[in-house]
Amino acid sequence: DTGVSQDPRHKITKRGQNVTFRCDPISEHNRLYWYRQTLGQGPEFLTYFQNEAQLEKSRLLSDRFSAERPKGSFSTLEIQRTEQGDSAMYLCASSVKVGQANTGELFFGEGSRLTVL
Amino acid sequence: SQQGEEDPQALSIQEGENATMNCSYKTSINNLQWYRQNSGRGLVHLILIRSNEREKHSGRLRVTLDTSKKSSSLLITASRAADTASYFCASYSGAGSYQLTFGKGTKLSVIP
C-alpha cells in the first residue's frame, strides 16, 4: 500500500483568497479525517468521513471551511476567504480497510502547510 | 479541546539514556495511543494500549496505563539521536465519537 498522500505540501496565499487541499487516503480505507495543527500544538480534529458521508464536524470548522469526499475515495478541504489565523498544517489521516477490524490507529499524510499573508 | 496533556513539554537527554513522557487525560477511554512526529512531517502511530491493559511493550517502547489516575506513560529505552521528535498521546473523546483527540505533545531532543 502507498501511504496517505496530500497535495500541495506547501501553499502561500494572500488573505481573502480561497485555497483547496487534496487528500488521497490509503487504498480501501473507508474512514478519512482532517486535522489542523499549529506550531507547538497537537493536531486538532476538524472533520471525519466514513465513505462519502461526513459524519462528524468540529465546531472549529467554521462556515468558511468545507470538506468533501464525493466518491468515498479522495477528499478535498476548501478554505474560503482565508484569514491569517488559518495559517497552519492541515493533516489528513485514514483508517480501517473494508473487511478488516478497526484497530483505532490512524495513518497520517505528510500534511499541507498553509501560510496566509 | 485537548483530551490529553503530555508532561514534560520538552525533554533533552543524552543518547543512550531513557526518556519518559507522561500523559493525563480527562474522560473515560477505550484505548490510548501514542504517536510520533518528526519536525514538519506527519504523525506516525507507535503503540496502542487498551483500557483493560496496564502495560505494553514494542521494541524499545514501553507504555503503561493507569485508568484510576487517568494517566499513561511512554518510556523509550536506550534512546538514539533518531528518536528526536515530538510525541503525542491520543484517545477518543467519548462513546461513539470518531474524534481521536491529541495532547500538546512532548518535544524530545536526543543529543548524540
> Nearest residue on chain B to A58, judged by CA atoms?
B99
Distances (CA, A) of B80 to B39, B65, B84: 16, 24, 8
pLDDT of residue B99: 85
Q: Which is nearest to A27 in space by CA: A98, A109, A101, A91? A: A98
- In sequence order, which residues have a C-beta less than 8 Å from that of residue B31 and are 6 or more positions away? A104, B48, B49, B50, B51, B91, B92
- Residues of chain B scoring pLDDT < 50: 1
pLDDT of residue B74: 97
pLDDT of residue A71: 87
Task: Please state the φ and ψ torsions of residue A84, each to the nearest 5 degrees.
Answer: -60, -30
**Each residue's pLDDT tens digit, B25-38:** 988 888 899 999 99
pLDDT of residue B18: 97
Q: Looking at the complex, report in whole angstroms how far the Cα of residue A32 sits from the nearest Cα belonging to chain B.
A: 10
Of A106, A109, A110, the CB nearest to B100: A106
Chain B contact for A26 (CB, 8 A cutoff): no
pLDDT of residue B95: 65
Record: contact A105-B48, CB cut-off 8 A: yes
pLDDT of residue B3: 59
pLDDT of residue B111: 96
Average pLDDT per block of 10 residues along chain A, 117 residues long? 91 98 93 95 94 90 93 94 97 83 86 97
A40: alpha, beta or left? (left if phi > 0; alpha if psi -120 to 50) = left
B19-25/A75-79 β-pairing: unpaired
Of A4, A31, A56, the CB nearest to B99: A56
